[in-house]
Chain A
Amino acid sequence: MLYSVADGDYDKWAKPQLERFIFGFFIMLIMGFINIDFWRTCSPFLYFFGIILLLCVLFVGDYGGGAKRWLELGTFRFQPSEIMKVGLIMFLSIYYDWLKPSNTSKLFWVIIPLFLIILPAALIIPQPDLGTGTIIIMTGFTMMFAAGVHYFYFIIIIFLIPAFLALIFYSRGTNWQLVNDYQFNRIDTFLNPGKDPLGDGYQITQSKIALGSGGFEGKGFMQGSQSQLDFLPYKHTDFIFTTIAEEFGFFGGVGLLLIYSIMIIFCIYSSYKNRNRFGSLLTIGLSTIFFSYFFVNIAAVTGMAPVTGVPLPLISYGGSAMLTVLGIFGLIQSAHVHRLIKRE
């Protein structure tokens, strides 16, 4: 796919990505063979490591695309929020593994994981990265839900969300504004992409044109006029799904969703069958992250959600995201391989 969007230039994007994939694939396999107890021990460290990195970003981070979310390590640039997602899931898994099931729904024991979730989210949203922040919160809640926290709490949250959204919009223009202007602009654009089709709404409009003109069977490999003639922005990163759906049509797009869905189903089944509570929770949490990646990405390019800059897992060009996803798979495999190891 990257070969196609680079006008048939293999060296431009496809080659480095393939190299990264092979490298990441081996890491994944190695991670898969490492005992789940090792990862279990790592969990709290990874979480706090993530928090520290986020604090670093706050002070010494790099800007990229108008946001401060990158850390530079030599020549290697990465987003600590990726590590944070995994760290949070692992930490919540160990927390609920440790917690007596009877305490799960007690208020005090509910507030602790809530704090664990809010802390990284509070560091990520002002970066500003509303998308990742939201994903962190949603996956965190999903973990709590999976762990068996009483329905009652979730009903409260469901009622709190509209109130919170209302608060965000109410804060607009005041001096305690909760999110940045550009985030508001993205929301505006999402709500009304036609308003300024050459400005902020350009991406969404062009993306929908590409999708729509693809039809059922698509225009054929490397035949997408929208992507081949550069009308699509970020066609090799965030908007690569658009190219897929333009060139391979509805058939190709839904095919990809099907593959993703099968992976999710496998993860949930694996999680269900896992005798190790840590592994089980870890699997469901990580699969939720994976789900959130492709869901948020595809929802954005099809105009269902605001554009947040989340890549399409395993396909978009970019090292950090690719390694994270493969790392997630490594952990899931480790949990699956060691599903019968029970801790007493």
Chain B
Amino acid sequence: MEISSFKKNILEKKYGRRSFLIGSSQLLLVGLLVGQMRQIQLNENEKYKLLADENRIDIEILPPLRGIIFDKNGIILAKNKENYRIRILREKNINLSELIDNFSQLINISKERKNEIIQKLENKRFNTPIVIVENLGWNDFMKVLVNLPSLPGIIPEIDLKRHYTQKEILAHTLGYVGVISPKDLKEFSNNDPIMQIEDFKIGKVGIEKGLDKYLRGQVGLGKYEVNASGKIVRKLGEEASSPGKNLHLTIDSNLQKFTMLRIKEYSASIVVIDLASGAIICMASNPSFNPNQFVEGISKKDWNILLESKNQPLANKAISGNYPPGSTFKMIVAIAALEANLIGEEELFDCKGFYELEERKFHCWKYSGHGITNLSKGIEESCDVYFYNLAERVGIEKIANLAKKFGLGISPILPLSGISKGLIPTKSWKKVYKNETWFTGDTLNSGIGQGFILSTPIQIAIMTARIATGLQINPFLIKAIDGRPIKNNKKQSLGISENTLNIIRKAMFGVVNNKKGTAFDSRTISENKLIAGKTGTSQIRQISEEERNMGIIKNEDLPRHQRDHALFTGYAPFTKPKYSVSVVVEHGGGGGKVAAPIARDILLYALSGAIPSIQEYPIEKRNDINLILKNIKKEMIST
């Protein structure tokens, strides 16, 4: 008993030790917990407080209003139109399918659309609302508003959508907006707040793209307290967005409309420049498209139609269309010759219908020839042989230098995309790009604006503007940003002698007003609205010797894509030039026959500020013109 109790005593002691060990190690572990809590709650308190706020506070990016675009007279071209739309936010414990079915009783939603919406919402990691219907009528919108209490998660709202009032009339210049595509992504960093806005639209082409940074504006921030599922509990503050800047363009939308109606049946492009400043008051390219289609999301089918259409409705041909300038280039050759003193005004060449260079014949467009020809006759009647002689004498380098002085072969600086540079060939150019030597034949072809030479309608209009003024006119499209006019530098002289220019101007006057001039049919009769200009018919096929002997096939008898381009460029009034114009009608045929009348009507419209009166036209033309003008008048009123 004694021993056993002694043993028991040892046991108890041992147990005491062990239980003490257990207890103290447990308390040590509790101490560890306290230490961890101290670390998190006291030492890192600030950091976690911030994180908790980040959790709690949701920042919504408020999209800015896009700037409005006006024409030069304050007519709205692009605005933000109200778009009644419905968005949906997934809330906890809500059966989405049922919700959409309920909603569908108010506004029909197809089965496929419904599945699409559900899938979209379920795939979203963050709970952000998505659009289910838009462009609702006021009545439908009200229906949803009234039934809102029974539709948890449905958010009706008024969104603003870009709208182009001119539709097809000014589509190419204005461009359109669209959602940010992967292609645009390199322009935006990922933390650009704009990226957080669903379906934010940016300028895609045209002015909308070129001046996007002005038009876009600054985003605002809305601060909300939200719960874990993203539902707003209350608003904490707001920093309003600042709208984009409004733009005034130099475009005269009435003239633009008239122009588009005038070339309705052609694949054509036109540029009109105000000579006082260089402002582009009209830039037309037909066929066109409706930019509003792109804002609403163009269907695949419509897109393909536009893409595959032969006349390229999506291209702004006024700045991107490359055409041989044809005879409109002859002024450049003449100026080059006169400036280099390589020819006298009255020096004569004999046109027998062709020019012979080393056994090869270079033909004049007039098979029988022009006979004895001086400079003004050469321009007025557009004698090719005269300009073969001149070109050979002047040489391609001098011609090219002068062409550049008049804006050919140089991209005009405009906030548009797809601007073409055109092409003014030189000997070194041919060596580098074609790996061939330059022949005199190339110079002869260049002398009549054929061969390698390419130019765009806007370049031709610039050329004419510079001829008419003798000043270095540079075109521009933006008149004012947010009401502040864009400064216009005083125009510098081109450095071409006034005497030379006057010779050319007089000849151009003869083109339209001399009985033998190529555009005599397109003359006007008012003293203060006389036109000077030059026709061009740019050939796009080779005419064989055989065909020449048999008689050249008439344009009307050729398949359309082989017909010549019809060109005309001019300015008016002759005495006090105000506007220059260039007209290119693709496969239109003769410049004098097709392009010149269009140019005449447009210049008359620009000069009179309205549909020209019939009194402006020669008596024998009035019947035909009356018909054309009447139709345009009708359409201008109806649109």
Other than the given A250-B41, A302-B33, 19 more pairs (CB < 8 A) read A101-B11, A145-B18, A148-B15, A208-B40, A210-B48, A212-B41, A212-B47, A214-B41, A215-B42, A215-B45, A225-B56, A229-B233, A230-B228, A254-B37, A268-B22, A272-B19, A291-B26, A295-B30, A302-B37
Q: For window 118-141 of chain B, which residues contact chain A by CB distance below 8 Å? A: 125
A-B contact pairs, 16 of them (CB 8 A): A101-B7, A212-B45, A212-B49, A213-B51, A226-B55, A230-B228, A231-B55, A231-B56, A257-B30, A257-B34, A264-B27, A272-B16, A272-B19, A284-B19, A295-B29, A304-B33
Residues of B within 8 A of A209 (CB): 48, 51-52, 55
How many residues of B are counted as interface, with CB atoms below 8 angstroms from the partner's CB atoms? 41
Cα(A142)–Cα(B18), bound, Å: 10
**Quick one: which of A230, A272, A299 contacts B227, CB cutoff 8 A?**
A230
Q: Is A80 at the interface (CB under 8 A from chain B)?
A: no
**A-B pairs with lowest CB-CB distance, top 6:** A212-B48, A213-B52, A268-B23, A230-B228, A229-B227, A250-B41
Q: Is A260 at the interface (CB under 8 A from chain B)?
A: yes
Cα(A56)–Cα(B597), bound, Å: 100
Cα(A148)–Cα(B13), bound, Å: 11
Residues of A within 8 A of B23 (CB): 264-265, 268
Nearest A residue to B29 by beta-carbon distance? A295
Q: Is B32 at the interface (CB under 8 A from chain A)?
A: yes
Least CB distance from A204 to B in Å reads: 11
Q: A213-B49, A213-B52, A253-B41 are in contact. Are A264 and B34 (CB under 8 A)?
A: no
Q: Is A261 at the interface (CB under 8 A from chain B)?
A: yes
Contact yes or no, B45 A225, CB < 8 A: no
Residues of A within 8 A of B493 (CB): none
Contact yes or no, B19 A146, CB < 8 A: yes
Interface range for A: 35 or more
Least CB distance from A208 to B in Å reads: 6
Q: For window 193-252 of chain B, which residues contact chain A by CB distance below 8 Å? A: 225-229, 233
Q: Is the interface of A mostly helix, strand, loop or mixed?
A: helix
Residues of B within 8 A of A268 (CB): 19-20, 22-23
Cα(A20)–Cα(B7), bound, Å: 46
1/0 contact string of A278-307 vs chain B (CB within 8 Å): 001000100010010001001100111000
Q: For window 107-161 of chain A, which residues contact chain B by CB distance below 8 Å? A: 142, 145-146, 148
Least CB distance from B127 to A in Å reads: 12
Residues of B within 8 A of A257 (CB): 30, 33-34
Q: Is B36 at the interface (CB under 8 A from chain A)?
A: yes
Cα(A206)–Cα(B18), bound, Å: 39
Contact yes or no, B56 A229, CB < 8 A: yes
Q: Is B436 at the interface (CB under 8 A from chain A)?
A: no
Q: Is B44 at the interface (CB under 8 A from chain A)?
A: yes
| Residue among A146, A209, A210, A304 with most chain B CB within 10 A | A209
Q: Is B14 at the interface (CB under 8 A from chain A)?
A: yes
Cα(A208)–Cα(B52), bound, Å: 10
**Quick one: which of B15, B37, B41, B56 contacts A272, CB cutoff 8 A?**
B15
Q: Is A18 at the interface (CB under 8 A from chain B)?
A: no
Residues of B within 8 A of A142 (CB): 22
Contact yes or no, B36 A303, CB < 8 A: yes
Least CB distance from A280 to B in Å reads: 7
Contact yes or no, A304 B32, CB < 8 A: yes
Give B residues with C-beta under 8 Å from A: 7, 11, 14-16, 18-23, 26-27, 29-30, 32-34, 36-38, 40-42, 44-45, 47-49, 51-53, 55-56, 125, 225-229, 233
Least CB distance from A310 to B in Å reads: 14
Residues of B within 8 A of A211 (CB): 37, 40-41, 48
**Quick one: which of A148, A210, A249, A299 contacts B11, CB cutoff 8 A?**
A148
Residues of B within 8 A of A4 (CB): none
Q: Is A271 at the interface (CB under 8 A from chain B)?
A: yes
Q: Is A245 at the interface (CB under 8 A from chain B)?
A: yes
**Quick one: which of A216, A226, A280, A284 contacts B52, CB cutoff 8 A?**
A226
Least CB distance from A273 to B in Å reads: 10
| Residue among B7, B41, B228, B233 with most chain A CB within 10 A | B41
Residues of B within 8 A of A191 (CB): none
Least CB distance from A259 to B in Å reads: 11
Cα(A250)–Cα(B41), bound, Å: 6
Residues of B within 8 A of A261 (CB): 27, 30
Least CB distance from A131 to B in Å reads: 16
| Residue among B14, B34, B52, B56 with most chain A CB within 10 A | B52
Residues of A within 8 A of B34 (CB): 254, 257
Contact yes or no, B51 A212, CB < 8 A: yes
Nearest B residue to A215 by beta-carbon distance? B45
Cα(A288)–Cα(B20), bound, Å: 13
Contact yes or no, A245 B56, CB < 8 A: no
Residues of B within 8 A of A272 (CB): 15-16, 19-20
Cα(A268)–Cα(B22), bound, Å: 8
| Residue among A198, A261, A303 with most chain B CB within 10 A | A261
Contact yes or no, B37 A253, CB < 8 A: yes
Q: A250-B42, A257-B34, A298-B33 are in contact. Are A146 and B27 (CB under 8 A)?
A: no
Cα(A99)–Cα(B52), bound, Å: 56
Cα(A9)–Cα(B21), bound, Å: 44
Cα(A295)–Cα(B32), bound, Å: 10
Cα(A261)–Cα(B38), bound, Å: 17
Contact yes or no, B51 A148, CB < 8 A: no
Q: For window 251-271 of chain A, which residues contact chain B by CB distance below 8 Å? A: 253-254, 257, 260-261, 264-265, 268, 271
Contact yes or no, A304 B36, CB < 8 A: yes
Cα(A198)–Cα(B124), bound, Å: 13
Residues of A within 8 A of B41 (CB): 211-212, 214-216, 245, 249-250, 253
Q: For window 220-238 of chain A, which residues contact chain B by CB distance below 8 Å? A: 225-226, 229-231
Residues of B within 8 A of A214 (CB): 41
Contact yes or no, A280 B15, CB < 8 A: yes
Cα(A208)–Cα(B39), bound, Å: 11
Least CB distance from B518 to A in Å reads: 75
Residues of A within 8 A of B26 (CB): 264, 288, 291, 295
